[in-house]
A = this chain, B = another copy of it.
């Protein structure tokens, strides 16, 4: 199914004439711009841009060539795809299923424009959910304390990523820490949901940490995964009010609602190419 609707992202050092160069190229393609957003980080001098447009061709390579020719002297990094060439997302999950259930519901109801060709888990608990959606479920166990088990699991994950031509990975409460190597190889392509308002309460049992500290709001954070645990660029966050009489378990329950919504928003933004990296920060064209 071809389309003449495209999504372009571009990043380059800021310079005069970038927007003019692109709008010129689009004009030659008889393009209609539906959405355009741009941002210059004045402290780093980086320019980023996203445009969604309709052209007079369905041939992505024709469009790409035209845009590259027009912008070559800015040495940009460009991504370009037709709007219906959906990103292929691998969802990884452990035992908590609320984020997985939510993402699959939204994907199947057209709320998030992505493909989910395969689900990976280190537990069997979510197999039934994958089956309801007719999505292959790969059980890839990680035996704690067994030498080589984690490396073997990651090796299997890499094969699955290859086999299913995966564009990005969503850790939907996947409770294993990825190796530094895998983090680096998939940089900017792995989204995690952390169940706290980062940078508060990194690491384990954040709701218990939050209870002990007596915070009045709890939160969740969707971020890109880097080798530095819970320190990757933040995509989306939100919070919910809590009160003194609520236990750590109450906080966890309330928090699950925040996790669901925050991860869903982040994945949707990412799947629509609205999230661009800007060093340790993200630009989000919402």
**Residues of A that sit less than 8 Å from B by CB:** 16-17, 19-20, 23-24, 26-27, 30-40, 42-43, 98, 101, 105, 109, 111, 132, 197-201, 212-217, 219, 233-239, 243-245, 247, 253, 257, 261, 278, 280-284
- In the bound complex, CA of A213 to CA of B233 (Å): 8
How many copies of this chain does one complex carry?
4
> Which of B34, B98, B200, B281 contacts A244 (CB under 8 A)?
B281
> Which of B24, B236, B245 contacts A20 (CB under 8 A)?
B24
Report chain B residues within 8 Å CB of A37: 37
Give min CB distance, A281 to chain B, whole Å.
3
Kindly report which residue of chain B lies nearest to residue A234, judged by CB atoms: B214
Task: Let me know if A27 and B20 touch, CB within 8 A.
Answer: yes
Task: Let me know if B217 and A197 touch, CB within 8 A.
Answer: yes
Task: Let me know if B30 and A40 touch, CB within 8 A.
Answer: no
- In the bound complex, CA of A236 to CA of B242 (Å): 11
Give min CB distance, A255 to chain B, whole Å.
12
Give min CB distance, A276 to chain B, whole Å.
9
- In the bound complex, CA of A154 to CA of B89 (Å): 46
